[in-house]
Amino acid sequence: MFQSDQYIVYGLTGICKVKSVGYLKGDGFDRDKVYYTLEPLHSKGSAIYTPVENNKVRMREVISKEEAMNFIHDIPELDTIDIYDDKRSEPIYREALKLNNFFELLQILKALKLREIEKNTGNRKMSALDKKYLDLIRNTLTDEISLALEMPREKAEVEIMEKLGAGALDC
């Protein structure tokens, strides 16, 4: 069980702060269930109410500082997930976001960054779908690394993207 004031990753919403844990009163709430009240990182003042025993949306702890440093260090050697065509890629992206596995998302981010570099080199444009997911996954991972390393978001993004570029050049 997560604790109040803890940051977690909540499904596609991303980073949320646990504001409280307890029973909720009111219409629509099961009085016998314990709920988390979550505040999304980028939506201050808004709230998400979800049962502690929620099996529909994956919740997990934010990666540790050590894990974040290791992930950033290992990006150049990181294997990518094969993306063959746009028609089959969206379900892969959506499923990875739904499962909320940091490592897998990082692999997809690297694959998309490689694809972007390849397209730019050939004076072609990345598909709108790939660009959408590149931005979404980059933002999700950047928020988490920024929080784990206690650094400004912009600095975390620069570090990630520099490592992705270095890894792309090695391929």
pLDDT by residue (tens digit) across 79-105? 888 776 667 888 888 888 888 889 999
Exposed, middle or buried, 127 (CB in 10 Å: 0-12/13-18/19+)? Answer: middle
Q: Hey, which of 63-77, 87-101, 152-166 has the most confident mean pLDDT?
A: 63-77
pLDDT at 49 over 60: yes
CA 168 to chain centre: 21
DSSP conformation letters of 69-114: HHHHHHGGG--------HHHHHHHHHHHHHHT-HHHHHHHHHHHHH
Quote the pLDDT of residue 2.
Answer: 96
Quote the pLDDT of residue 170.
Answer: 41
Q: In the chain, where are the structural domains located?
A: 7-60, 63-170
> For the residues 49-69, what does the mean pLDDT come to?
93
> For the residues 3-29, what does the mean pLDDT come to?
93
Are 57 and 38 in contact by the 8 Å Cβ rule? The answer is: no
What is the pTM for the complete model shown? 0.84
**Domain 63-170 of CATH type 1.20.58.1290:** yes
Q: Could you tell me the CA-to-CA distances from 90 to 105, 120, 150 in Å, in that order?
A: 13, 21, 32
